[in-house]
Amino acid sequence: MAALPSTTPDWPWHRVVYELVDKAGLTLKALADQHGRRGPTIYSHIQHYPRPAAQAEIAAAIGLSPLAIWPTRYEADGKPVSTVAWLRSRGLPVPDACRAPSARKRRAAGREIKPLER
């Protein structure tokens, strides 16, 4: 059984950005350029949704682990909590992009569809 995420609150977004500028001397745009991203938008999305890869990039620039900055988004062993589980635990709506593909889409992609057992 997976360990539950921490109940310690995540850092406020302004503190994350402040630490990034203060400790690493980087802006979100500069960090995006450094990692070959087209723009800093992915980092702004972190305010509202877990993005483990982007969180890891910011944490590395600051010199901390992502678990230290966003404890509610990681299990005690450091494994990221799924975006869907994280959103549901907060009573937030799950965007369609996070949902499993429909049977029609799986069939179109050539993936096997198992019938439901009743």
What pLDDT, on a 0 to 100 scale, did the predictor assign at position 99?
65
Say which CATH topology domain 13-108 has.
434 Repressor (Amino-terminal Domain) (1.10.260)
pTM exceeding 0.75 = no
Alpha-carbon distances, residue 9 vs 13, 38, 52, 69, 97 (angstroms) = 12, 30, 17, 9, 26
Provide the 10 A C-beta neighbour count for residue 66: 23
Given pLDDT bands bounded at 50, 70 and 90, which one contains residue 87? Answer: confident
pLDDT above 50: residue 1: no
Residue % of the chain over a pLDDT of 90? 18
Do 31 and 58 contact (CB within 8 A), yes or no? Answer: yes
Q: Spell out the long-range contacts of 26-31 with Cβ–Cβ below 8 A and sequence spacing 24 or more.
A: 26/61, 31/57, 31/58, 31/61
Instruction: Tell me the average pLDDT across 2-17.
Output: 75
